A and B are shown apart, each in its own frame.
Chain A
């Protein structure tokens, strides 16, 4: 209803202020706080926010979250939900998603402002010019609001929502916990802490038998069933997409290519089918889905090219990868650089969370990059990624030779490959392709715990060590023995794709007018 009214009456303008509508709701604090968040979010979407609007946004969220946490504390003390908090999953996701989005925007804004202001300081490129008024004003606002959008406070709010669900079964509080976990996973990914991002999702993706079901919200239909945390998140498609994308990035950066391909491949397959059936047109924000789909396809292009194991993604997705990135991948095959461009296109906008020392902008040396810049965060992650992708071409060359033989002496293969320290290359290829994978994602041998490492803890968790190679080799007395890796014969994909193509052909035939 809010979207309809916005489109009809406030498409390019702001809604009435909370003060103006206060009488209509009896001055209800929580209602007004939620109203303020909703209308302020709309304002941010129609125009580029001014520095003061960004600061105001922080205060809006602080007021709202403090109020919600107060209500939650009352519920925890009294053991009863007086019905004050009633939020649906989509709404909770929208609030927390926008919260992290505004934080991300503010981090970029403050580091860009600092970097630009420093150019007008001593030693800067524009030191002889007067600092523009808007820049000076922005620096003033930032200097007077140093604690606004402080990263530790943002994360603390998310953590508090996460913990709130531990002592109450109220449905809205459970929703807050789940979508706070989704928001936290995204934020940790933007900060470059991929391990913490995956840990944040453990609340949602627990596969244990003790996982708590979440009751349907008040007013739901009689046949509505309790859902698992994963089902609640999946019920909001934008949240599901968000989780999959950031999880895929984290797995890629942590060298867990099978998990990355599973997560990204699944969501891309779902989306590809959904786009064909027109499923997403009615979902708000669906114009962004296509862009995210393209970025995930680019990530899958990297993964499927680096990991020669076949069957990592469905045929339809493999086809999309070839169509969109076939040329680029051929260039990489020929020895040119290409992974970096793909990654830069596909990666999230990483952020520098620290507050700059604004006083340095007017001091000697600031123009030479003494402070943080937005480029720092993203360059750091790109460097890590490229480090991981180093030697890919050499390893592909080694693999292509090994596929020709079932057994070959070390000396002979060394002469063919012609690489310095060839034995280290053999060891390192296997070492790098042995990766952690979730047992729910794994297929074939991946589900078994790693042997030879004596790592018993891997067997008791849902993770194990598997391989993404499509060949298997070992060295015995100077001879390399090469087998193909354990195969999975799966026929259903072939049948499904043929059925789908047959339906398309029949539809085309039916449409022919004779």
Chain B
């Protein structure tokens, strides 16, 4: 169902991207993305469509009289949760913020979302979780944002993203430290996640309080020195031309 809706929206964006009449459809699609995170017990099929959500925010930029704060907040919240989980290095939350006027960012829970994004980006994960949990109380009338912040899938996506970030710096460390960064309360829940991320976690041991991450290019020693060369034509073109000009002038 969601996949067909996603295709429908993708087709709409190819031809009607700048038409304000598609705003209600994009708003409905945004709601359904959040609903997937909140309702379904299985992994959501399309929990986040950055292109569609960004188009909605952009249409609000073009037609501010149509802008609705609740959808701006929802789009930002999804970008916070899924931005780096979907594609490492992407700056979804920040780049979405470049399309949203400062006046729209003053009302809670947007300031809390900004604080969350800053903490996530600066890897202060313990503090991040306490601020993230406060969204529930800071959401005001924005019930959907509150529900999203409490949803299992949103937390799971954030945890995977944090675990990946930890695996890039740590080869091995204390399991208790990692669990603290992942905000785990129950042991079996953490075990399910860590066992499920076998491409990131090599092994972990409760008794010895240790965790070893799978080897990757960032958490292992580098020895290679690459030798590369090559000149492209652009580099010598200027030299050749200036030489020809000088010869012609001399003649």
List residues of chain B with CB under 8 Å of any chain A CB.
17-20, 54, 58, 61-65, 87-91, 94-95, 97-99, 101-102, 118, 121-125, 164-173, 199-200, 213-214, 216-231, 234-239, 241-243, 245-246, 250
B213 partner residues in chain A, CB cutoff 8 A: 452
A209 partner residues in chain B, CB cutoff 8 A: none
Q: Is the CB of A452 within 8 A of B123?
A: no
Residue of A nearest to B128 (CB): A424
Q: How far is the CA of A513 from the CA of B165 in the complex (A)?
A: 66
List residues of chain A with CB under 8 Å of any chain B CB.
151-152, 155-156, 159, 191-196, 253-256, 266, 269-270, 273-274, 276-279, 353-354, 357, 372, 376, 379-381, 383-384, 387-388, 391, 421, 424-428, 430-432, 434-436, 443-445, 448, 450-455, 457-458, 465, 467, 472-478, 481, 483, 485-492, 496, 499-500, 503, 507, 510
Minimum distance in angstroms from A247 CB to a CB of chain B: 15
Contact residue among A357, A481, A491 (Cβ-Cβ distance under 8 Å from B221): A481
Contact A430/B102 with A474-B171, A476-B171 known, Cβ cut-off 8 Å: no
Q: Is the CB of A452 within 8 A of B167?
A: yes
Q: Which 9 A-B residue pairs are closest in the complex by CB-CB distance? A: A273-B238, A452-B216, A427-B123, A152-B18, A428-B123, A451-B216, A192-B98, A436-B89, A476-B171
Q: How far is the CA of A419 from the CA of B242 in the complex (A)?
A: 53
Residue of A387, A427, A477, A483 with most partner-chain B CB within 10 A: A427
Q: Is the CB of A489 within 8 A of B241?
A: no
Instruction: Given contact pairs A452-B216, A458-B88, enumerate 13 new A-B contacts (beta carbons under 8 Å).
Output: A192-B99, A353-B61, A357-B65, A372-B101, A428-B124, A434-B218, A445-B217, A474-B170, A474-B171, A476-B171, A477-B172, A492-B230, A496-B231
Residue of B nearest to A188 (CB): B58
Residue of B nearest to A503 (CB): B243
Residue of A nearest to B235 (CB): A496
Residue of A nearest to B125 (CB): A424
Q: How far is the CA of A232 from the CA of B20 in the complex (A)?
A: 34
Q: How far is the CA of A192 from the CA of B102 in the complex (A)?
A: 13
Minimum distance in angstroms from A484 CB to a CB of chain B: 8
Q: Is the CB of A488 within 8 A of B95?
A: no
Minimum distance in angstroms from B106 CB to a CB of chain A: 13
19 residue pairs bridging A and B, Cβ less than 8 Å apart: A193-B99, A196-B58, A387-B118, A424-B122, A424-B125, A434-B88, A435-B89, A443-B228, A444-B228, A451-B217, A451-B218, A452-B200, A474-B169, A474-B219, A475-B169, A476-B219, A489-B227, A489-B228, A491-B229
Q: Is the CB of B165 within 8 A of A458?
A: no
Minimum distance in angstroms from B25 CB to a CB of chain A: 16
Q: How far is the CA of A236 from the CA of B168 in the complex (A)?
A: 44
Contact A452/B238 with A488-B226, A507-B246 known, Cβ cut-off 8 Å: no
